Structure 1
Amino acid sequence: MDYSLDLFSLTSLLGTIALILLLYIINNSLTGGESRKEPPGPRPWPLLGNLLQLDLKRPFVTLHEMSKKYGSIFTVYFGPNKVVVLAGFKTVKEALVGFAEEFGDRGPSKIFNDISQGHGIIFTNGETWKEMRRFALTTLRDFGMGKRLAEDKIVEECHYLIQEFEKHKGQPFDTTRPVNHATSNIISSIVYGSRFEYNDPRFKNMVARANENIRLSGSVSVQLYNMFPRLCYWVKNRKKILTNVAETVNDVQNLITNLKDTLNPELCRGFVDCFLMRKRKTEDLHTLMTQYHEKNLIYSVTNLFAAGTDTTAATVRWGLLLMAKYPDIQNQVQQELDREVGSCQICAEDRKNLPYTDAVIHETQRFANILPLSIPHKTSKDVTFQGYFIKKDTLVIPLLASVLYDENEWENPHIFNPSHFLDKDGKFIKREAFLPFSAGRRACLGEGLAKMELFLIFTSLLQRFRFSPAPGVREEDLLLTPSVGFTLTTSPHELCATIR
């Protein structure tokens, strides 16, 4: 027996172990001794990850259930893609606000990359995102976001929307199209400087395509494409999304061309005019690497149009459905409106005198849970958060559904209950865990406009109409199960809007 060979092998093994330990110690000292423990989670399968454990029609439900087992921060694999999920109000707020920079990048999503091509506001990072968001915020504020100028545009649109509802003469109808057209027109008046007629073919098609794309983006087939883009590039829904995008880009280009031909530097009509003038200024200064070019304009406009249409319209439709389902709550809203406003035109200033109505609107946003997964984030650098190490460029999902339904924050999270926003004296109270617009650097930039829209549209409609189910349908038969999509909209239904 050759003992010298065995001794050599043993020495080599011990030397290797010692070298590994030395490298570990050096690496640990270079990282400040931080724990490299990563968030726990279910064991993934090779390639498939945790796909078999996820309900892709309602992934937020599966993830919420997982959080009860693995904690408020855990790891899950969407196919081969590693994702860190943040659950519960305290964890989500700490990450998005307390670690705003570390969790502040937009996460990679293949379909959204295909759509935006690295341009615009919502799905970009770096200098493009910083400059486009800053410009959009400044311009929206200049055009009255949260102020009287925007209020006048919303009130005007409410009159058109009421006329559309009156055309049905109390007969059952689907509220989807007119409400979508109203919210689209409000953002269009700010972006383009003018509204569209509801029967304008181009406008109708743009609204329909925007809503269809948001719905298809949450479909099972598109989620599979995001996980396995090389295998699933052929899926029908992906092709439909890209066709819709191409058609919308063509329409937006034509609208921009018309505005460019009539541009007056002394009279800025909307977002597009402001952008064109900034673009002209940078060209005059021969500025290199400017963000003010045509593609950023086109995709910023489409971002604002889609975001300004879908979520607000969906919330209004949820509100009307809930009023029809819970007539006692509708009674209390209308009694308060009659008492405090009467037949006068409702204005934003009335909100402070309508605590119950305000509570109903807030509870609608909480209960409807329009954007349950938020829009994915990404870590901008290595970060240790709540004792767990998360590498740079890790996809992060702030689970907003777990915030709006957090059992530690809401008394009856699974029940529609306006009392969540009322004190014992019936006064409106703010709740920290009310985060339907997300939080931190990536919070919805149109939050102020959306809040004003929701209040004025909802109250104007309730002041004018009584909402009820279609004949033969009982209140208890109205379904509160949302339709599948990237955002949660109501299931298809019809309501009667009877003039009061």
Structure 2
Amino acid sequence: MPTVLSRTICSLYDSVVDILHHKNNWKIILGSGLVALLVIKYRQPIFKHNPEFGDVFPNAGGLPIVGIIPFIVLSGKTTFQYCTYLSKRRRKKSFFISFARLPFFIINGYDDIKETLVKSSTAAAGRPGPETSLYLVNPEAKGILNRDYSQEFVSQRQACLQILRNFGFGKRSSEDRIQEEALALTNKLLEYDKPLNPTSIIQNSVANVICNMVFGSRYEYNNSIFDKLISNLNFMASFQYHKCIALYLPFMAKYSTYLQTNIKCQTEIIEFIQSEIDKNQEYLRNEEEQENFIYSYLKLMKEKSDDSSFSTEQLKFVVFDFFFGGTETTATAISWALIYLANRPELQRRLQEEIDRVIGDGVVSLHNKNETLLLDAFIQETLRISTPVPMTVLHKAIADLSVNGLHLPKGALFTANLHSVLHDETIFKEPETFNPDRFIQNDNILRPDELIPFGLGKRLCLGEQLAKQELYIFIASLIQRFEFSRVDEEKINESGLLGITYMPKDFLIVIKARS
């Protein structure tokens, strides 16, 4: 297809998507028709049914080519909200959908998710091949996040966890790093005397925790290279699959400005990571010991020279996973927390009183956690109601398995809808109401099994413990030093945008130092 025509089609498609995103009207038919006319062939894999594992999954419907996307847009809901809505209307919570060209299963509800990810943890631990992804910079699915389940995956995950533990991942030394960044964050916020959106500043601070561990150094807020990395992370995090024409027409990928910008952002981060790897390889050759993840991995790779799963290419994408995954989810949750504080001054006052009583003007420590029940409950409720990662990364069944009497066949793709659990009114009373007190009973903190913002099973978030530490120290430090309020009487919007994470819409907040 000629380049000019291809780019024209991409531009036209982007315009149609923008219209559909903002106006739920008849133009959805026009958009679907445009895509359909451009498709030469449409195929959907047919899974062989094995009755030994249960009945066939119900099909939630959809249109050729675009699948269920038009119905999601017309509903005014996000993908995960729409799937939660469908699950409440069905006898069987879980079902099959087609999202554009990609057919997969949605596992809803705590019982179904637990049965899939825990009871059948190994069978459910696979990842789809790179051909299902729009992330074209990692065609061999290296790293941890996108790597298929295998013995190599297990050994890589174990090696990475061990290296991180050596650097205090989940221990005291990681606490010191977070405290350092929390101080830098609060000092930076003191510079502002006008309403602002603090999201990028928060991202800088959280990213610096990861940089300190992975690269062995932190970056100042005005560092141009670091600012560019954060800008790239922002674009990647806000990337919306349904707006990309390549999801429907893969051969159009190289003509899609939206997708190519995303690839450029990833490539620039990967090039930066490669430069850090090169630097540490030189240190290793000169036997100049360094205290960072990259150096430790290279050292281990040298020791395990007969293990082909260790390579600089694998290391590059492991670090990419840490840098992206370890920054966006935590920073998003902190941004949500500030919105909830600004919209609820009475709750904010109670939290300030608790922190003043327990910590005073001292440095926030994880040792304080047992004495700050309301703060602990506030963080749990923030993760529950905002659900920064509402649906897990796609899994692949590596063997037949059963989900509540339904057959999930080998090779099938599926995702667990965590939102369907965290917003289940049979588990959390009045789930759309922000209420941290639901997690406090008889002066004890409640940690229900159903509170699963980080997922379950063998693909459980690698950085869960670090994220929990960061959330406690950052949020406590912010409440300790500042008062957060709305710009005017109108509440800050508590509905978000779904990209890679579920993030707040653009907002302004007044941040005032406490006297």
- Normalising by structure 2, report the TM-score: 0.85
Aligned to 1:12: none
Shift of 1:339: 1.0
- Spell out the pairing of 1:275-286 with structure 2 (5 A cutoff): 275-283=297-305
Out of 429, 435, 440, the residue aligned to residue 411 of structure 1 is 429
Bigger mean CA offset, 406-415 vs 178-187: 406-415
Change in CA separation of 1:65 and 1:343 when aligned onto 2, cut-off 3 Å: same
* Structure 2: runs of 5 or more not aligned: 1-47
Aligned to 1:309: 327
SS of structure 1 residue aligned to 2:137: helix
Counterparts of 1:41 and 1:234, CA distance in 2? 33
Instruction: State whether structure 2 residue 227 is matched by structure 1 residue 204.
Output: yes
Conserved? CA contact 1:37–1:387, under 8 Å: yes
Q: Which amino acid aligns with 1:260?
A: Q
Conserved? CA contact 1:107–1:396, under 8 Å: no
Aligned to 2:340: 322
Change in CA separation of 1:128 and 1:206 when aligned onto 2, cut-off 3 Å: farther
Counterparts of 2:72 and 2:104, CA distance in 1? 13
Aligned to 1:19: none
Aligned to 1:195: 218
Change in CA separation of 1:52 and 1:269 when aligned onto 2, cut-off 3 Å: same
- Spell out the pairing of 1:453-464 with structure 2 (5 A cutoff): 453-464=470-481
Instruction: State whether structure 2 residue 90 is matched by structure 1 residue 66.
Output: no
RMSD of aligned Cα (Å): 2.1
Conserved? CA contact 2:283–2:289, under 8 Å: no
Counterparts of 2:483 and 2:277, CA distance in 1? 41
Aligned length: 460
Aligned to 2:268: 247
Counterparts of 1:235 and 1:128, CA distance in 2? 35
Q: Which amino acid aligns with 1:147?
A: K
Out of 241, 253, 269, the residue aligned to residue 291 of structure 2 is 269
Aligned to 1:333: 351
Counterparts of 1:308 and 1:88, CA distance in 2? 26
Change in CA separation of 1:401 and 1:108 when aligned onto 2, cut-off 3 Å: farther
Bigger mean CA offset, 82-91 vs 440-449: 82-91
Shift of 1:130: 2.2
- Spell out the pairing of 1:149-168 with structure 2 (5 A cutoff): 149-168=173-192
Conserved? CA contact 1:111–1:238, under 8 Å: no
Conserved? CA contact 1:183–1:312, under 8 Å: yes
Instruction: State whether structure 2 residue 474 is matched by structure 1 residue 452.
Output: no
Bigger mean CA offset, 379-388 vs 296-305: 379-388
Aligned to 1:495: 509
Change in CA separation of 1:251 and 1:452 when aligned onto 2, cut-off 3 Å: same
SS of structure 2 residue aligned to 1:262: helix
Conserved? CA contact 1:35–1:389, under 8 Å: yes
Change in CA separation of 1:340 and 1:77 when aligned onto 2, cut-off 3 Å: same
- Spell out the pairing of 1:23-38 with structure 2 (5 A cutoff): 34=52, 37-38=55-56
Aligned to 1:143: 167
Conserved? CA contact 2:135–2:263, under 8 Å: no
Instruction: State whether structure 2 residue 255 is matched by structure 1 residue 234.
Output: yes
Change in CA separation of 1:46 and 1:316 when aligned onto 2, cut-off 3 Å: closer
**Deviation by residue 1:143-172 (Cα, 9 ceiling, x = unmatched):** 111111000000011111111001114x21
Aligned to 2:40: none
Shift of 1:102: 1.5
Change in CA separation of 1:469 and 1:52 when aligned onto 2, cut-off 3 Å: closer
Out of 99, 119, 126, the residue aligned to residue 120 of structure 2 is 99
Instruction: State whether structure 2 residue 413 is matched by structure 1 residue 389.
Output: no
Change in CA separation of 1:228 and 1:65 when aligned onto 2, cut-off 3 Å: farther
- State, as a whole percentage, how many aligned pairs show the same letter: 27
SS of structure 1 residue aligned to 2:498: coil
Counterparts of 2:331 and 2:220, CA distance in 1? 17
Counterparts of 1:479 and 1:114, CA distance in 2? 34
Change in CA separation of 1:87 and 1:102 when aligned onto 2, cut-off 3 Å: same
Conserved? CA contact 2:112–2:403, under 8 Å: no
Aligned to 2:456: 439
Q: Which of the two has higher C-alpha Rg?
A: 1
SS of structure 2 residue aligned to 1:114: coil
Conserved? CA contact 1:72–1:87, under 8 Å: yes
Shift of 1:107: 3.4
Aligned to 1:124: 147
Counterparts of 2:465 and 2:200, CA distance in 1? 24
Counterparts of 1:482 and 1:188, CA distance in 2? 28
SS of structure 2 residue aligned to 1:115: coil
- Normalising by structure 1, report the TM-score: 0.87
Shift of 1:227: 4.6
Q: Which amino acid aligns with 1:221?
A: K
Change in CA separation of 1:482 and 1:48 when aligned onto 2, cut-off 3 Å: closer
Conserved? CA contact 1:119–1:128, under 8 Å: no
Conserved? CA contact 2:66–2:248, under 8 Å: no
Q: Which amino acid aligns with 2:476?
A: T
**Deviation by residue 1:312-333 (Cα, 9 ceiling, x = unmatched):** 0011111111101100010000
Change in CA separation of 1:116 and 1:128 when aligned onto 2, cut-off 3 Å: farther
- Spell out the pairing of 1:415-430 with structure 2 (5 A cutoff): 415-423=433-441, 425-430=442-447
Conserved? CA contact 2:333–2:386, under 8 Å: yes
Instruction: State whether structure 2 residue 236 is matched by structure 1 residue 225.
Output: no
SS of structure 2 residue aligned to 1:168: coil
Shift of 1:64: 1.1
Shift of 1:127: 4.1
Q: Which amino acid aligns with 2:365?
A: C
**Deviation by residue 1:105-128 (Cα, 9 ceiling, x = unmatched):** 123463355232221110111344
Shift of 1:296: 0.7
Conserved? CA contact 2:125–2:395, under 8 Å: yes
